[in-house]
Chains A and B, each alone.
Chain A
Amino acid sequence: MTEIFSIVSQFVIFLLIFSFPLTPKLLNNIIGSKQINFNLVETHSINIIFFIYFCLVCSFFNIDLKILFKVYFLLSLAFFIFNFKNYDFKIKKDNFLSFLFFALVTISIFFSIAQNLKLEWDGHHWIEKVLVFYHNEEIGNLKDVSTHPYYPHLGSYLWAFFWKNSFLEFEYFGRFFYVYFYIVSIFLTLNALNLKNNTVKIFLILFLILITYDAYLFAGYQEYLIFSSLVIASRYIYLINFKSLDNLKSILLIFLILYTVCWFKDEGVVYFSIFSFFLLYFLKITNSQKIFFFLFLTSLLIIQYYLQKYIIGIYDFPEKTSLSTILNNLNNFEIFFIKISKILMHCLIAFVKYPLWLIIIILLLFQLIFIKKIEVHFKYFLTCLLLNLSFIFLIFLTFNHLDFMLRVSLDRLLFQTSGFYMGLILLVLNNLKLFKK
């Protein structure tokens, strides 16, 4: 019974600490605009991003996780009590229903992890990094872990943070954050649908969870962190007006959300670069603003390189690739053809395994063939999709153990970026008569 109580309490703790430091009113005052009006769920998601940055900064200072949690928790509690009125809790039937299902789904997944608490293969590698933080060791010790020491550490830090600060200090409590982040991101996305009927909205949310939930990836993998961050980023990209931006702060916010993926896994740097630089390209802002943002994005990448190389002591990528390897592949047409067909085959398998991809492709074709309305948003998501898939094809072309890599990693690579195209789904659905206001 104690364990059940602890699991449910963890959910309440998440609710509380992610209600800090912003309320919808405060957030709207800071970055609200005609295009983006933050409600309770949106503010919650931004608070999670804030917390992720808080953890990122703290991870470099070797601060005791227990002290850190106590300070953050007390601040959240005090903030919640003093700002209770500003949270705008409308006890409407629809809000109640959404919250009920949010709690039910989240706690159900918590129970599922508590029962199936086994870590899968990669989880046993990531936990080495988690233990460095769990034992409050110096961040520099990360470079001494036996598997992939160069992988970014933020996911492991978050895992260690909630493991150490759970009631029973069981390992699996650390992974609850991944679940919470994922569920918040799904609820946030569907909030943007122009649907009056809340029941249909909840039905769609449950359907999305049904097709994107994979218990295996909650067993120590970091894919859901990237997936959820990209879902949140795409939700805000969907809301902005590319042609006439009324608030540059919202762009800054989107870049900062996208930047978190660089700290979860190595390939996050590529996703961040594709999604951010092309967002900048498609935005209709002045050249000086573009230069400012370009320098900002570049400096974010340099900061990450610097921190990993000189503070942690290691910066590298798991698979080395070069233009010459790619050109060599192109020279031998037969090998190139075999490799391409193998990659294509495994992509199709991954699309079926993670059917969100099928929905993305179907809606994309539907928009191109039937609606034929190609907006800037659509162009942007389409460009990102093509570049994203090209990157995956190119990187797999250069792998020495192609068959093995295709079997163990292609599906996960595709899954984690599928979240970004949730914006594309919203775009097409909101163009349909059924969803028009």
Chain B
Amino acid sequence: MKLSKNQIKYFLIILLFSLTILKFFNTPYNLYSILNWKYNDRMEQQYGYCGNESWGFYNFLIKKYDLSSNSIKIINDEGYVTLENLFNLKKDNSIDTKYLILLNYKSKNNEDIFSSKYDFVKKYNIKYRYNNCYLLELND
């Protein structure tokens, strides 16, 4: 089968435009990533485990503790947006809630969380910690 000049031109245009689109939107890598990593893994890659928004830390806490029935104080010390909406948590930073989630806590030298700028932390004890991310529970 011999292709005419016009047909060759037509296929070249399709190929050129298609490759441009695929490169511009990074489609091959996106496809590879979706095939390789599950939804939760990609969420963790994007939001971080205990860094940035710390999606992974929330996800771990939700699975391990029953946090949905109480209001929770949530603080991300690095100023990232908190993810209570993605996990259906009731965030309330105005009162001393039963639980406090403190993420990406920034400290100097030997400073620990109880000597931090957040005075109210003294009313809590550590229930779970991973690096600089804490789940704290209000003392009885």
A residues contacting B by CB (< 8 A) are: 1, 3-4, 7, 93, 97, 100-101, 104-105, 108-109, 111-112, 114-119, 121, 124, 127-128, 131, 146, 168, 170-171, 199, 202-203, 206, 210
Contacts and interface: CB of A to CB of B under 8 A. Distances in A.
Nearest to A7: B34
Contact of A104 (B18, B29, B31, B88): B18
Contacts of B20: 206
Interface string B9-32: 010011001101110111101110
Given A108-B25, A117-B46, A118-B47, A93 B81 contact: no
Contacts of B18: 101, 104
B9 to A, nearest CB: 9
B75 to A, nearest CB: 15
Of B53, B81, B88, chain A has the most CB atoms within 10 Å of the CB of: B81
Of B29, B35, B46, B53, chain A has the most CB atoms within 10 Å of the CB of: B46
Contact of B86 (A101, A104, A108, A127): A127
A116 B85 contact: no
Given A117-B42, A118-B47, A111 B21 contact: no
A101 B18 CA distance: 7
A101 B42 contact: no
A100 B15 CA distance: 11
Contacts of A105: 21, 25
Nearest to B37: A115
Contacts of B86: 119, 124, 127, 171
A128 B90 CA distance: 11
A121 B34 contact: no
Contacts of A206: 17, 20-21
Contacts of A121: 81
Contact of B85 (A4, A104, A127): A127
Interface residues of B, number: 30
A108 B42 CA distance: 17
Given A111-B34, A124-B85, A206-B17, A170 B24 contact: no
B39 interface: yes
Nearest to A113: B30
A101 B21 contact: yes
Nearest to B6: A93
Nearest to A127: B85
Given A3-B34, A108-B27, A206-B21, A97 B14 contact: yes
Contacts of B53: 118
22 contacts: A1-B35, A3-B39, A105-B25, A108-B21, A108-B30, A109-B25, A111-B27, A111-B34, A112-B30, A114-B34, A115-B33, A117-B39, A117-B43, A118-B46, A118-B47, A118-B53, A124-B85, A124-B86, A131-B88, A146-B91, A168-B39, A202-B17
A124 B30 CA distance: 23
B34 A4 contact: yes
A114 B27 CA distance: 11
Chain B facing A: main interface SS: helix
Given A121-B81, A199-B13, A112 B46 contact: no
Contacts of B26: 112, 115
A267 B112 CA distance: 47
Contacts of A100: 14
B34 A115 contact: yes
B126 interface: no
Contacts of A116: 30, 46
Interface of B: 10, 13-14, 17-18, 20-22, 24-27, 29-31, 33-35, 39, 42-43, 46-47, 53, 81, 83, 85-86, 88, 91
A108 to B, nearest CB: 4
Contacts of A170: 39
B65 to A, nearest CB: 21
Contacts of A104: 18, 21-22
A112 B31 CA distance: 8
Nearest to B88: A131
A143 to B, nearest CB: 17
Given A114-B34, A118-B47, 12 more contacts: A3-B34, A4-B31, A97-B14, A101-B18, A104-B22, A108-B27, A117-B42, A117-B43, A124-B83, A124-B85, A127-B86, A146-B91
Contacts of B43: 117-118
A171 B22 CA distance: 24
A114 B30 contact: yes
Nearest to B43: A117
A170 B41 CA distance: 13
A3 to B, nearest CB: 5
B126 to A, nearest CB: 27
A111 B31 contact: yes
A352 B31 CA distance: 31
Contacts of B33: 115
Contacts of B25: 105, 108-109, 111-112
Nearest to A129: B85
A350 to B, nearest CB: 22
